[in-house]
């Protein structure tokens, strides 16, 4: 397949924060990006708007052993529109393209039910934490016959504590602390139509100096460091439609600190997998849909998630 007829499905370049913060870790991109994740946007350099619609429903709030918390009910339902602006610059030496992105999440609906008139679990809605990112995107390398081979991207992201936050609520749009969340993403084509993608983050969190009342009378908390990743395998049925499987994984690798002291038994982890598709109306307009089913959650909620995203090139 010649380069001029590559599938119009190279989405990539979205670095999405989540929209509801519970337990210790901030909301991060878990499954919001998937297919062709390391590839440059097919419309080329310019300015893009990406709109996400994220629906989640969980019926488990799990403890450190993966068991449900001892509550009569533990249900949470969320709906979050998320808006992302991307600027992709002109190629520099070596074909690398600089760029930056701004992400604004909004928790439009959050409903929690603990079976106790929400005496134990509560939530609030509002604007989430803004994400700023600066990146370098490689050009797409091809084989001798012009078919795609490999593309990659590196990005430094900062999650700002701009979201709505109430220390008396167990679920908030914002985390009330800033985080550093850089990543590396890549897509590799085994054949002109079959490829794999991955995005791999390191997460470091600053202190929350107005911590949740669930911690008691303390002056600060600091969520532990974590690793998380999105992964996908995709098959292009034609130049417009691809189908495949996608998933995500998160694991906290250091203890949460309370007033500067490590607290054991609070490390979070979860993984998920599910089907998806992406469809290119043109190089400038791309729709992606993913469904995820979570497993193995510890110190986190566990449920299902549906993500729709639409990429539009502005100019």
For residue range 271-285, list pLDDT tens digits in order. 999 999 999 999 999
Are 307 and 31 contacting, i.e. CB atoms less than 8 angstroms apart?
A: yes
Residue 226: pLDDT over 50: yes
- The pLDDT of 204-218, averaged and rounded, is 94
State the Cα–Cα distance between residues 92 and 80, nearest whole angstrom. 36
Q: Note the pLDDT tens digit of each residue in 186-197.
A: 999 999 999 999
* Lookup: tokens for 209: 């100096």
Give the pair of three-digit tokens for residue 118.
């929400």
The label of the residue with tokens 């908030």 reads 172
Average pLDDT, integer, range 42-53: 97
For the ranges 10-24, 105-119, 221-235, 285-299, the lowest mean pLDDT is seen at: 10-24
What is the distance between the alpha carbons of residues 200 and 180, in angstroms, rounded to a whole number?
13
Percent of the chain having pLDDT more than 90? 84
Q: Could you report the per-residue pLDDT of 244-274, keeping only the tens digit for each?
A: 999 999 999 999 999 999 999 999 999 999 9
**Mean pLDDT computed over 290-299:** 97
pLDDT score recorded for residue 11: 38
CA distance 33 to 106: 17
pLDDT of 22 reads 56
Could you tell me the residue ranges of all domains in the chain?
A: 3-313
Lowest mean pLDDT among 19-28, 136-145, 167-176, 297-306: 19-28
Domain 3-313: CATH class, spelled out: mainly beta
pLDDT of residue 8: 36
């Amino acid at each position: 397949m010649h380069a001029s007829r590559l599938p119009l499905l190279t989405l990539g370049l979205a670095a999405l924060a989540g929209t509801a913060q519970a337990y210790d870790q901030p909301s991060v991109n878990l499954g919001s990006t998937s297919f062709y994740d390391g590839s440059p946007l097919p419309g080329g350099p310019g300015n893009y708007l990406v709109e996400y619609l994220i629906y989640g429903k969980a019926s488990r709030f799990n403890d450190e052993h993966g068991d449900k918390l001892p509550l009569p009910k533990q249900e949470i339902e969320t709906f979050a529109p998320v808006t992302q602006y991307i600027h992709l610059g002109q190629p520099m030496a070596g074909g690398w393209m600089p760029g930056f992105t701004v992400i604004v999440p909004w928790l439009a609906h959050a409903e929690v039910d603990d079976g106790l008139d929400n005496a134990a679990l509560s939530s609030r809605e509002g604007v989430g934490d803004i994400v700023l990112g600066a990146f370098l995107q490689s050009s797409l390398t091809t084989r001798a016959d012009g078919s795609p081979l490999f593309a990659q991207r590196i990005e430094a992201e900062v999650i700002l504590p701009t979201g709505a936050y109430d220390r008396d609520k167990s679920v908030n749009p914002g985390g009330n602390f800033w985080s550093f969340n850089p990543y590396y993403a890549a897509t590799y084509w085994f054949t002109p139509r079959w490829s794999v993608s991955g995005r791999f983050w390191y997460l470091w969190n600053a202190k929350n100096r107005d911590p949740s009342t669930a911690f008691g009378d303390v002056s600060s908390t600091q969520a532990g460091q974590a690793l998380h990743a999105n992964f996908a395998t995709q098959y292009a049925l034609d130049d417009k439609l691809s189908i495949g499987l996608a998933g995500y994984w998160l694991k906290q690798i250091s203890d949460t600190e309370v007033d500067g002291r490590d607290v054991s038994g609070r490390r979070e982890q979860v993984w998920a997998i599910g089907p998806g598709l992406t469809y290119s109306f043109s190089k400038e307009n791309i729709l992606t849909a993913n469904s995820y089913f979570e497993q193995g959650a510890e110190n986190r909620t566990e449920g299902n998630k549906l993500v729709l995203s639409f990429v539009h090139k502005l100019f």
